[in-house]
Structure 1
Amino acid sequence: MVWDPFFEEIRRLEDRMNRMFRSFWEEGPRLLERGKRGEIVPYTREYKEPYLDMIETDKDIIVTADMPGVDKKDIDIRVTENNIEISAETKREAEEKKEGYIFRERMAGKYYRSLTLPSSVDPEKVKASYKNGVLEVTLPKTEIKKKTVIKIE
């Protein structure tokens, strides 16, 4: 499918607006919360959206996502013909009173991102790799069917 740059920009704006609305409704009026040491800190939602790149070639769509601190086994990727969903969870051992700790700020968290793909892909042929905190997903495009011209009788 050939994408006009104008429509590609519209699609990006739509994705950005969807994230903003989702963030607004999830966070609601709770914009500030108290930190571990009692200070007021900005509220951070339950999940983070990983930063990513999406590249389209003649044969594939390649999605690369930064997901530091995640174990490969904790990453979940779900793909349909026109959508990819990436989620993961960073885990942390139970809170302990270890000697020497003054405070603990690192927390367990979740990653989540859902994207509409610019072309149809074959979900059965998707390949993924994860190295040094970076996830790379290669989504092979489906063959573009040749259009048939129909004559009207």
Structure 2
Amino acid sequence: MMLPSMRRQRTIPAQWGPFSEFEELYERMGKLLGSAMGETSQGDAWVPLADVMETEDSYKVEVEVPGMSKDDIDLQMSDNELVITGETGEAQESGERTHRRTRRYGRFEYRTILPGDIDGERVSASLDKGILSITVPKSDRGKARRISIDQG
């Protein structure tokens, strides 16, 4: 007796798109690069937007921390690593329902490693209009200096 043959159909997931795998790969590479550059140490902390710039005599770091006061932010310098942490509270009144949330709340952490030619003792910081500005002076050790020659 011959049994009828069954044809199996391949099903394509409803959400599948030709670029979805590239988007997932791009997102995973971004997370990998971010962790390799020291942007965050734990998955529950978000990373604020920041710029790191270099001038002739210092490094400048500007971090966006809207609505925060200086008491909400902790700034530490350990060797060449600058670590900025803090926490933003959720601005929601009791009895309110949230329909859309695009702002980030909760614990944040920003880390960056600066080159070895810094003077960690003279770091200064200021907070103005939601921008935390940190200036890390370069060390004088690596700078060229003129040496006088004595006549003998």
Same fold (TM over 0.5): yes
SS of 1:48's partner is coil
8 Å contact 1:91–1:109 — kept in the other structure? Answer: yes
Q: Secondary structure at the match of 2:139?
A: coil
Task: Find the partner of 2:83 among 75, 82, 85.
Answer: 85
In the alignment, the residues of structure 2 paired with residue 91 and residue 130 of structure 1 have an alpha-carbon distance, to the nearest angstrom, of: 18
Residues 15-62 of structure 1, C-alpha deviations (whole Å, 9 max, x = no match): 962527989x96xxxxxxxxxxxxxxxxxx522211111111121100
Unaligned runs of 5+ in 2: 1-28, 145-152
Answer with 113-122 or 138-147: which moved more. 138-147
2:62 to 64, 68, 71: 64
Structure 1 residue corresponding to 2:35, chosen from 10, 15, 19: 19
1:103 alignment partner in structure 2: 98
- Contact conserved, 1:71 with 1:90, CA < 8 A, in 2? no
Contact 2:117 2:142 (C-alpha < 8 Å) held by counterparts: no
Alignment RMSD: 3.5
Pair 80,110 (structure 1): closer, same or farther in 2 beyond 3 Å: same
Q: Deviations over 1:42-97 (max 9, x none)?
A: xxx52221111111112110001111232221111111341101111112478733
Task: Tell whether 2:123 aligns with 1:144.
Answer: no
TM-score normalized with structure 2 length: 0.58
**Which has the larger strand fraction?**
1
Larger Rg, first or second structure (1 or 2)? 2
Letter in 1 for 2:98: F
Deviation at 1:146, TM superposition (A): 7.0
Q: Matches of 2:143 and 2:126 in 1, distance apart?
A: 33
Give TM-score, length-normalised by structure 1: 0.58
Percent identical residues: 28
Q: Aligned residues, how many?
A: 112
